[in-house]
C-alpha cells in the first residue's frame, strides 16, 4: 500500500479544487516529504495518473494575464471520493504497512464519523494482537531472544513493535473516545491546508519542472 494516493486525494478534496503546486505545498506543510514518498515528482505523477483513472478531474486553466504559465487544476470525482474513503479506512486498520500509511490516515481520520474511527482503531488493535499471537507460537518473549541466537532479536523486535503499536492505538482510542478533535458531522473541521498565496514556513524551496504547469 502506498500513502501517496491517499495524501494527494485528501489534499485535493480539502481544497475542493487545486493545482499541483498547491498539493505539493500542502504536503510539505504537513512534513509528508520527510515521512513518506511524497516528493514533487511522485505528487505530479500521482495527479496525472489518477486523472487518467477517473479519480480526479483535470481542469485546463488558461495562462494568467500577467503572463504566467497555464496550470491544470484538479477536482476529486465521485469515484475518487470513494477511493479516498476506501484508502482511509484501510490505512487506519492496516498494521503491517510502512509508518507513512498510518501517518497519512491520521491526517485525514476526522473526515470520518467519530464512532467509525473508534471501530476501525479497535479493529487495528485486534489485528495486531492476532499477529502477535502468531509470532509467539514459536517465540516466547518471557524467555528472551537468546535461545534462538542473535536471530531471536528479530522476533524480539517484532513483538516489542507490536506491543508498542497496540499500546499507542489504545491511547488514541481513549483520547478520541474522550472527545478530542472534531470529526465528521460534529461542526467546523480543523483547517489543515494553506490558502492560495499563503506562505509555507516548511517549504523545501527546491524547484521541480512540474511546479509551473501541473
127-152: pLDDT as tens digits: 999 998 887 777 676 777 666 778 77
- Measured from the Cβ of residue 86, the count of other Cβ atoms closer than 10 Å reads 11
Q: How far apart are CA 30 and CA 202, in angstroms?
A: 8
Selection from 8-17, 78-87, 153-162 with the highest mean pLDDT: 78-87
For domain 1-83+192-207, say whether CATH 3.40.640.10 is its number: no
Residue from 1, 169, 7 nearest 96 by CA:
1
Between residues 21 and 107, which one has the greater pLDDT? 107
36-75: pLDDT as tens digits: 888 888 999 999 999 999 999 999 775 555 556 667 899 9
Grid coordinates standing for 20?
499541483
Residue from 16, 14, 8, 5 nearest 75 by CA:
16
CB 77 within 8 A of CB 9: no
CB 19 within 8 A of CB 214: yes
Domain ranges of the chain: 1-83+192-207
Mean pLDDT for the stretch of residues 189-210:
60
Q: Identify the three-state secondary structure at position 176.
A: helix
The DSSP line for 130-150 is HHHHHHTTT--GGG-GGGGGG
H or E element that contains 19: strand 18-19
Q: How far apart are CA 112 and CA 181, in angstroms?
A: 12
Tell me the whole-structure pTM to 2 decimals: 0.83
Rg (CA), the chain: 20
CB 131 within 8 A of CB 96: yes
Amino acid at each position: 500500500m502506498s500513502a501517496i494516493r491517499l495524501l494527494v486525494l485528501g489534499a485535493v478534496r480539502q481544497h475542493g479544487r487545486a493545482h499541483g503546486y498547491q498539493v505539493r505545498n500542502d504536503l510539505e506543510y504537513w512534513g509528508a516529504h520527510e515521512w513518506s514518498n511524497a516528493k514533487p515528482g511522485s505528487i505530479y505523477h500521482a495527479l496525472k495518473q489518477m486523472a487518467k483513472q477517473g479519480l480526479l478531474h483535470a481542469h485546463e486553466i488558461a495562462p494568467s494575464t500577467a503572463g504566467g504559465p497555464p496550470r491544470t487544476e484538479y477536482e476529486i470525482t465521485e469515484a475518487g471520493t470513494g477511493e479516498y474513503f476506501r484508502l482511509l479506512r484501510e490505512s487506519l486498520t492496516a498494521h503491517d504497512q510502512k509508518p507513512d500509511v498510518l501517518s497519512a490516515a491520521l491526517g485525514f481520520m476526522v473526515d470520518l464519523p467519530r464512532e467509525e474511527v473508534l471501530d476501525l482503531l479497535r479493529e487495528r488493535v485486534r489485528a495486531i494482537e492476532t499477529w502477535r499471537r502468531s509470532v509467539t507460537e514459536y517465540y516466547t518473549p518471557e524467555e528472551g531472544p537468546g535461545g534462538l541466537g542473535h536471530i531471536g532479536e528479530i522476533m524480539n523486535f517484532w513483538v516489542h513493535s507490536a506491543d508498542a503499536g497496540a499500546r499507542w492505538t489504545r491511547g488514541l482510542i481513549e483520547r478520541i473516545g474522550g472527545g478530542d478533535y472534531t470529526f465528521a458531522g460534529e461542526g467546523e473541521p480543523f483547517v489543515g491546508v494553506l490558502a492560495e498565496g499563503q506562505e509555507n514556513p516548511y517549504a523545501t524551496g527546491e524547484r521541480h519542472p512540474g511546479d509551473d504547469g501541473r
